[in-house]
Structure 1
Amino acid sequence: MARWLAITVLLGLLLSGAAVLAVLGSQVNDELRALRTASSDNIEWNLPQLEVDLLNLQLALEQSGDTDPVASAAAIRHKFDLFYSRVQSVTEGETFNTVRDDSNVADRLDDVRTFLDEKIPVIDAPDAVLLARTDDLIAEASLLRTTLRQLAVYGVSAFAQQSTLQREKLSALLTRTSTMLVSMIIALAAVLAILFRQFGVSEREGQKRKLTNMRLRAVIRTSLDAIIVVDNRGLIIDFNGAATEIFGYTHEEAIGLPVADAIIPERFRNAHSLGLTRFIRTGEKTILDTGLVVLQGMRKDGSELPVEMSVASAEGPHGTIFVAFVREITERLRVQEELTAARDDALAADKAKSTFLAVMSHEMRTPLNGIMGTLELLANTDIDKKQRAYVQAAQTSGSFLMRHINDVLDISKVHASKLQLTNDVFSPATLADEVVDANRANASARGNEIRVEAGLDHSVYMVADRFRVSQTLLNLVGNAIKFTSNGSVQVGVQEIATEDGPMVEFRVNDTGIGIASDKLGEVFDDFVTIDTSYSRRSDGTGLGLGISKRMATAMGGSIGVESDFGSGSSFWFRIPLVRGEKPEEKPDSQPDTDSVYEHIAPLSVLLVEDNAINSFVAREMLVGLGHEVTEAGNGLMGVEAAENQHFDIILMDISMPVMDGVTATIKIRESSGQSRDTPIVGLTAHALPEEMARFREIGMQDCMIKPITIACVTEMLANHANTPIPIEGEDDAWGEESDDGTYINSETCGELIELLGEQRFRAAFANLTDEAVRTLQSIPRPTVESDLPEVQGEVHKLAGAAATFGATVMQQHLSIVEAACKRQDVQAVNEGVGDLDTVWKMTREELEALLE
């Protein structure tokens, strides 16, 4: 590096010297040209000639009286002009620059210019004036002659001095040029010496690079990864041993082959060629210099294999080359597939467990429904005191069994990620009072005192899932009562500060048997009962605390326990304190069961149920309430009965053989039977929220969760009896508002806002608006019956969305249009579609006003 730097410096000096020599040579040439073209003769002639011209002027002045006045004036002016021109040449001409620099010359020239400037007015005056001034001009010209003579002497002297300086300057230039030339010759000799020395060094460096290349080639050939080098034409120029093992070509076979034909499957070759061409033309890269990529390669025998490849570019002696580092990953992918399969199996097993729990809880509810219903019917008969005690004991056991089934169902919901939380506003202290009051009888039965120690005022309200909070606290209180005899249970509620913000802490302290320290870590596991000494005296599946932990975690909180074996336990759970405003109290206008029943006329009920016991229980309840019951053993029989007879209400089991309740409901609604507009209420052992929404979407008005009781049957009949769904499309139905003059059910809408929260409700409302606008714009005006199915499909989807938001009038109009489509009444459909825009406008305005 230092040698090349020295050579560069010397070459720079040589170039600089050459430039300097060129400049000096130019200057010497200029000086020689100046000497060759020296104007000494011109100066020596012109300066004395000034005096001659002045004499000629003086002579013309003196002869002015001997000739004609006009000719005399002209002669004077002519001689003056000649003298003036000569002076101008000396004062302004480039030839006289050297002498004008002399101060003596400059002073005399100033005097001459002053004389001329003063005489110009006289010369340019009229002839009479000029001739009258001749004597003055002659006298002044005589005085100027001495100045002109001195000017000539000083001018010649100045030019002589200037010539001497030029010769000295030329001599100096020649000396510097010679010195620079000698220096350049010396520098050139030094450069040649260094170059000869550098040539030897380069020879040695070349040998070293050759050895390095040989070592690098050896490394490439012995690399565990395949290394393939390709030129810019796509031809292989190097192919190491690992590449031979992977792709099957020998080094000699591979060299010169197009890489696309050698190792790239045929279906990818076109893309490879396009990518190479694009890179050569534009420099655009795809997989080049982008790191590792996974591709399909091809062996010599045509079989394919997965490879991991990294491609880099470099400049070779004949243009760009590409170096590919390739590794076969068949084994790695196999291991990954095995791991993925193992993970999928584990997930499938977990899902199967959750599904099994859900199915088993459902299947257990079905016979339990029959047991509980029969016991309720038996309790309402005339039985003696001892028999009633037996019935009550059976009902209590059934209630415990139902609670365990509910626990299993809650676990299945959590595992299936289908546990949905609501946002309720409630007082934590009031909820604690309610839980204690509900468990006071159980506590007394075991000789326990139970009380609330509220550190939080009853006026403090929070926003959370009230049911889940209550369920969790019930589990902890029930657990404390089970494992405490003749002691006390204390329920505390207070606000605490944590790193995550304010929390509400519910704490349940008992004086029971306590938990051993080595068992504390297991109490929240599923199916774990810690103390076997109480296992025979206390019911429990070991699920309650596990579910409580899941509930607390789902609500963003935590749960824990502190206990000393033999001295009692303290269970607590905490959830975030989101403060809320006290909700407005609504008057309890719901009449009791007896008063409701008094206002329900006898109804004709179609009961569609495949389970004989459940059918028996439901029939007995309905008959006992004074209603007429027709039974159908499956969905198909229910559809046939609904088509042939009008019923006031249909109770439809969801899960049945032959035809399930969902399919049966759809067929009833789509038929032209006598009960197609009858309210249908589903019966199911359990249903998730999304399933309930689907039941309503297909045409059910409600859904009852088994086991059903007389109270819930009575309430259901009061809500849905004698309220057929509006699908007849009477002429006076179009454009009607609800009874209170509004287009929406504010209670339904308010519940939806409370469930979703305002932000999510606004987003859902925006989706409803988009769907309504799109549907109303796309609904065709039918002209023939074949156009009706498209209209029916559009209005059916929008009707479900309208019902969700409580848009009752909009839902009614859409339902009437849908019914007209089913009746194939083209005129009624057009009338209904024509009014939908107005109904939607009013509905939208009310919804927007509610949000404001």
Structure 2
Amino acid sequence: MEVKSARILFVEDDEDDYILTVEQLEKLDNYHFEIDWVTTRDEALHKLQCNEHDICLLDHQLGAYTGLDVLHQANELGSHVPIIMLTGQPDEELDKLALDGGAADFLSKGEISDARFARAIRYAISRVEVQKARQQSIDAQTESRSKDRFIAHLSHELRTPLTSILGYAELLINSDKANQAHEELSAILNNGNHLLSLLNDILDLSKIAAGKLQLKSESVMFSSFIGDILTLMYVPAASKGLALHCECINRIPKNIITDPTRLRQVIINLMYNAIKFTQKGSVTLKIEYDQITSPELLKISVSDTGVGIPKKDLDSIFTPFQQLEKVAMKGEAGSGLGLAISNELIRRMDGEISVESEVNKGSTFTVILPLAPSCRSDLESLEIGISDIQPKQEYAPLQGSVLVVDDLKDIRQLVGGMCRSYGLNVSYAKNGQQAVTIIESGEHNIDLVIMDIHMPVMDGKQAIVNIRKQGFAKPIFALTAARMKGSDKELKQLGFNNVISKPVRQTELYDQLADSLARQKQENNNHSYHVPERLSNHVLIVEDDKDAAELIVLLLQSLKINAEAVLNYQSGLQKLSNNNNYTHVFVDKNLPDGDGLELIKQIEALCPDPIDISLVSGEEVDSDTAAKYGINRSLLKPINLEQLRSIFSSTKHKEI
């Protein structure tokens, strides 16, 4: 049985009574007492004020003073120690006065040898334990709330300057102002994005620790999901001359139920680490599914031929902030959080992650996930061909304007970056509906469209039907990983001119674009159709950080959008009071003289016509808050050009 310990303050000026009481305390089973003995009122008050004891046994008669005097003064001094009053003779009136004064109990010294004394001691100790547990819970909750507030504040304070750093770098790279500093600006942009990824890692880990990270499961087309990941990983692998392989053992589920964002985060982290720590050889993504022996499990593994991990370090690599000493000395960038976050995410998906490794031969990380019963019967063969890594090539410049449509930002940026490297102008849309709107507007004079097939809101198949109905006869390429038998024929029957496989290879994409644009120019096959005139936009930005506000104005102006900024709540209110012609308002959540959410309420009251409102914040805003305040969207800092382009390509507003 567990032995409980307690520290007792015994206030007694009679040594015989002290000895008798200690003997009784020692007879209590399963208790160990540390006893501090004092004989005067002043000593007692000094000890009680320190709140270092679990119980105080207090004699009622202390020379010229009484225990009641000590009891009252102890309360005034802020003592929280439970006090059991002891007296030579039973006295009901004194008993009442002691209990009214805050004593935990009142006993006569003649009862010390009785069971009542033992019960009083046990009760007092139990009450102390309950109070300690309650206080620990309160302290933990307070600490958690303080930590959450700190993390939210840190997120806001870091994301605001990152908005300026990344935004201005991107703006200058895409302009003619700093052609000679393109390499230096790219370094700023790349390192700024790396800093942002570290910040996101820290925030993810804090959410996991606080139990606030929520998974959003949905049905995911697995072939497209894997193809997107390979498309992203092909570029860093190619830059190091590594072969990238994808193997599928047996037929695999056509769809899986998972949180695609978080599972993608895990696999990309494992593949990125494999590429980072492999200098020559290959990286392999393997998907295994055994419908006979393990139909409830899906296995995904990432193998490399890299440096490997010593056995002594295998148990610690999933611990936050742990990096191998050898790796740290080589200066490999990273926070040491990626594997810890991946481990926690997979655990919350009811799966498990493991590693096998041998120094100088490579590592294999394996993720095993439960597979929903509904996904176990619809299987398909998946073959994703990845060509050999090709050396970097110089491309003859192409002329024209390309629209890249994909729901994943990373894929949009990757394919768009390839197109820009060929000399093409690039516009973006994140779903089929936005693509339809952009084509209909005629603003960008699109010469060719590269469109993903599997997207939310409106997929590529629905989008091309709507685009062709508008009379758009220029080339449209399908972007897909799921090239099954007969799929190319089906896509071309819908109106696609060509099909680009994921992962996207730069040379293959260039050849397809060059051929299509050359034929288009030669045939002069530009069908005319009516395009409604683009309506104007007038934007107000309410942002207290001057650099960030000026940057958003410049980014909008680069999109030929009229924009102005104010730096606080009252100025925003005054602007809106004097002018109801704004079509968009961007409001920072944290303003120096007011709450951004309250300003949004005022905007709705001041503007009789519907107005598009975007909340800009350094922390995520939940959907309930957005709905409550009438927010059209919530933007997480730092704001970039693509976010703004996406907003204004997908909405129409009144002419001013």
Q: Shorter-chain-normalised TM-score: which range?
A: 0.5 to 0.7
Contact kept? 2:542, 2:569, Cα under 8 Å: yes
Contact kept? 2:85, 2:105, Cα under 8 Å: no
| Equivalent residue, structure 2, for 1:374 | 168
2:227 counterpart letter in structure 1: D
1:657 counterpart letter in structure 2: P
- Residue by residue over 1:730-780, the C-alpha shift from the partner in whole angstroms, topping out at 9 and shown as x without a partner, is xxxxxxxxxxxxxxxxxxxxxxxxxxxxxxxxxxxxxxxxxxxxxxxxxxx
Contact kept? 2:550, 2:565, Cα under 8 Å: no
Q: Provide the C-alpha distance between the structure 1 equivalents of 2:563 and 2:571, rounded to a whole number of angstroms.
A: 14
- Residue by residue over 1:321-345, the C-alpha shift from the partner in whole angstroms, topping out at 9 and shown as x without a partner, is x999731344564466456545654
| Equivalent residue, structure 2, for 1:641 | 575
Give 1:548's match in structure 2, choosing from 338, 342, 351.
342
> Does residue 1:715 correspond to 2:646, yes or no?
yes
1:693 counterpart letter in structure 2: D
Measured at CA, do residues 456 and 600 of structure 1 come closer, stay the same or move farther in structure 2, by a change above 3 Å?
farther
Q: Residues 430-469 of structure 1: matches in 2 within 5 Å? A: 430-455=224-249, 457-469=251-263
Give 2:632's match in structure 1, choosing from 697, 701, 725.
701
Measured at CA, do residues 610 and 600 of structure 1 come closer, stay the same or move farther in structure 2, by a change above 3 Å?
farther
1:643 counterpart letter in structure 2: S
Contact kept? 1:650, 1:681, Cα under 8 Å: yes
Measured at CA, do residues 667 and 354 of structure 1 come closer, stay the same or move farther in structure 2, by a change above 3 Å?
closer
Q: Provide the C-alpha distance between the structure 2 equivalents of 1:559 and 1:713, rounded to a whole number of angstroms.
A: 38
Pairwise CA distance, 1:386: 4.5
Pairwise CA distance, 1:572: 1.6
Measured at CA, do residues 635 and 517 of structure 1 come closer, stay the same or move farther in structure 2, by a change above 3 Å?
same
Q: Provide the C-alpha distance between the structure 2 equivalents of 1:523 and 1:437, rounded to a whole number of angstroms.
A: 27
2:364 counterpart letter in structure 1: S
SS at 1:590's partner residue? helix
SS at 1:521's partner residue? coil
Measured at CA, do residues 466 and 307 of structure 1 come closer, stay the same or move farther in structure 2, by a change above 3 Å?
farther
Give 1:404's match in structure 2, choosing from 195, 198, 213.
198
Q: Provide the C-alpha distance between the structure 2 equivalents of 1:522 and 1:306, rounded to a whole number of angstroms.
A: 50
Contact kept? 2:297, 2:368, Cα under 8 Å: yes
| Equivalent residue, structure 2, for 1:73 | none
| Equivalent residue, structure 2, for 1:612 | 546
Give 1:305's match in structure 2, choosing from 95, 103, 109.
103
Give 2:187's match in structure 1, choosing from 375, 385, 393.
393
SS at 1:602's partner residue? coil
> Does residue 1:653 correspond to 2:588, yes or no?
yes
Contact kept? 1:440, 1:450, Cα under 8 Å: yes
Measured at CA, do residues 374 and 308 of structure 1 come closer, stay the same or move farther in structure 2, by a change above 3 Å?
farther
SS at 1:436's partner residue? helix
SS at 2:103's partner residue? strand
1:608 counterpart letter in structure 2: V
Q: Provide the C-alpha distance between the structure 2 equivalents of 1:498 and 1:458, rounded to a whole number of angstroms.
A: 12
SS at 1:490's partner residue? strand
Pairwise CA distance, 1:511: 1.1
Q: Residues 168-317 of structure 1: matches in 2 within 5 Å? A: 247-250=85-88, 253-254=89-90, 263=95, 265=96, 298=98, 303-306=101-104
Give 2:615's match in structure 1, choosing from 668, 677, 682.
682
Contact kept? 1:358, 1:412, Cα under 8 Å: no
Measured at CA, do residues 323 and 576 of structure 1 come closer, stay the same or move farther in structure 2, by a change above 3 Å?
same
| Equivalent residue, structure 2, for 1:512 | 306
| Equivalent residue, structure 2, for 1:314 | none
> Does residue 1:326 correspond to 2:125, yes or no?
no
Pairwise CA distance, 1:420: 1.4
Q: Provide the C-alpha distance between the structure 2 equivalents of 1:552 and 1:449, rounded to a whole number of angstroms.
A: 27
- Taking every aligned residue pair, what percent have the same amino acid on both sides? 24
Q: Provide the C-alpha distance between the structure 2 equivalents of 1:262 and 1:453, rounded to a whole number of angstroms.
A: 85
| Equivalent residue, structure 2, for 1:591 | 435
Pairwise CA distance, 1:439: 0.8
Give 2:156's match in structure 1, choosing from 337, 362, 365.
362
Measured at CA, do residues 593 and 474 of structure 1 come closer, stay the same or move farther in structure 2, by a change above 3 Å?
farther
- Which structure has the larger Rg? 1
CA RMSD of aligned residues (A): 3.9
Q: Provide the C-alpha distance between the structure 1 equivalents of 2:106 and 2:285, rounded to a whole number of angstroms.
A: 63
Q: Provide the C-alpha distance between the structure 2 equivalents of 1:438 and 1:721, rounded to a whole number of angstroms.
A: 33
Q: Provide the C-alpha distance between the structure 2 equivalents of 1:657 and 1:243, rounded to a whole number of angstroms.
A: 56
> Does residue 1:557 correspond to 2:351, yes or no?
yes
| Equivalent residue, structure 2, for 1:470 | 264
Contact kept? 2:306, 2:362, Cα under 8 Å: yes
Kindly indicate which of the two structures has a greater share of residues assigned to strand. 2
Q: Provide the C-alpha distance between the structure 2 equivalents of 1:597 and 1:620, rounded to a whole number of angstroms.
A: 23
| Equivalent residue, structure 2, for 1:624 | 558
Pairwise CA distance, 1:536: 3.7
- Residue by residue over 1:277-321, the C-alpha shift from the partner in whole angstroms, topping out at 9 and shown as x without a partner, is xxxxxxxxxxxxxxxxxxxxx46xx64433599xxxxxxxxxxxx
- Residue by residue over 1:185-243, the C-alpha shift from the partner in whole angstroms, topping out at 9 and shown as x without a partner, is xxxxxxxxxxxxxxxxxxxxxxxxxxxxxxxxxx99x96699xxxxxxxxxxxxxxx99
Q: Provide the C-alpha distance between the structure 2 equivalents of 1:497 and 1:518, rounded to a whole number of angstroms.
A: 36
Contact kept? 1:645, 1:675, Cα under 8 Å: no
1:667 counterpart letter in structure 2: Q
Measured at CA, do residues 533 and 465 of structure 1 come closer, stay the same or move farther in structure 2, by a change above 3 Å?
closer
SS at 2:322's partner residue? coil
Give 2:535's match in structure 1, choosing from 559, 583, 601.
601
Q: Provide the C-alpha distance between the structure 1 equivalents of 2:292 and 2:202, rounded to a whole number of angstroms.
A: 32
Give 2:604's match in structure 1, choosing from 656, 666, 669.
669
Scaled by the length of structure 1, the TM-score of the pair is 0.46
Measured at CA, do residues 663 and 588 of structure 1 come closer, stay the same or move farther in structure 2, by a change above 3 Å?
closer
Contact kept? 2:296, 2:373, Cα under 8 Å: no
2:277 counterpart letter in structure 1: F
Q: Which runs of 5+ in 1 are unaligned?
A: 1-218, 227-241, 267-297, 310-321, 725-852
Contact kept? 2:152, 2:618, Cα under 8 Å: no
- Residue by residue over 1:254-293, the C-alpha shift from the partner in whole angstroms, topping out at 9 and shown as x without a partner, is 3xx77xx674x58xxxxxxxxxxxxxxxxxxxxxxxxxxx
Contact kept? 1:354, 1:411, Cα under 8 Å: no
1:575 counterpart letter in structure 2: L
| Equivalent residue, structure 1, for 2:518 | none
- Residue by residue over 1:556-606, the C-alpha shift from the partner in whole angstroms, topping out at 9 and shown as x without a partner, is 1122211122221111222211144689x9993431796457264221111
Q: Provide the C-alpha distance between the structure 1 equivalents of 2:255 and 2:102, rounded to a whole number of angstroms.
A: 68
Scaled by the length of structure 2, the TM-score of the pair is 0.59
Q: Provide the C-alpha distance between the structure 2 equivalents of 1:248 and 1:415, rounded to a whole number of angstroms.
A: 48
- Whose relative contact order is higher, 1 or 2, with alpha carbons under 8 Å and at least 6 apart? 2
Contact kept? 2:540, 2:564, Cα under 8 Å: yes
Q: Provide the C-alpha distance between the structure 2 equivalents of 1:350 and 1:498, rounded to a whole number of angstroms.
A: 47
Q: Provide the C-alpha distance between the structure 2 equivalents of 1:629 and 1:658, rounded to a whole number of angstroms.
A: 22
Give the total of aligned pairs: 435
Contact kept? 2:583, 2:612, Cα under 8 Å: yes
| Equivalent residue, structure 2, for 1:68 | none
1:327 counterpart letter in structure 2: A
Q: Provide the C-alpha distance between the structure 1 equivalents of 2:338 and 2:251, rounded to a whole number of angstroms.
A: 28
Contact kept? 1:407, 1:544, Cα under 8 Å: yes
| Equivalent residue, structure 2, for 1:415 | 209
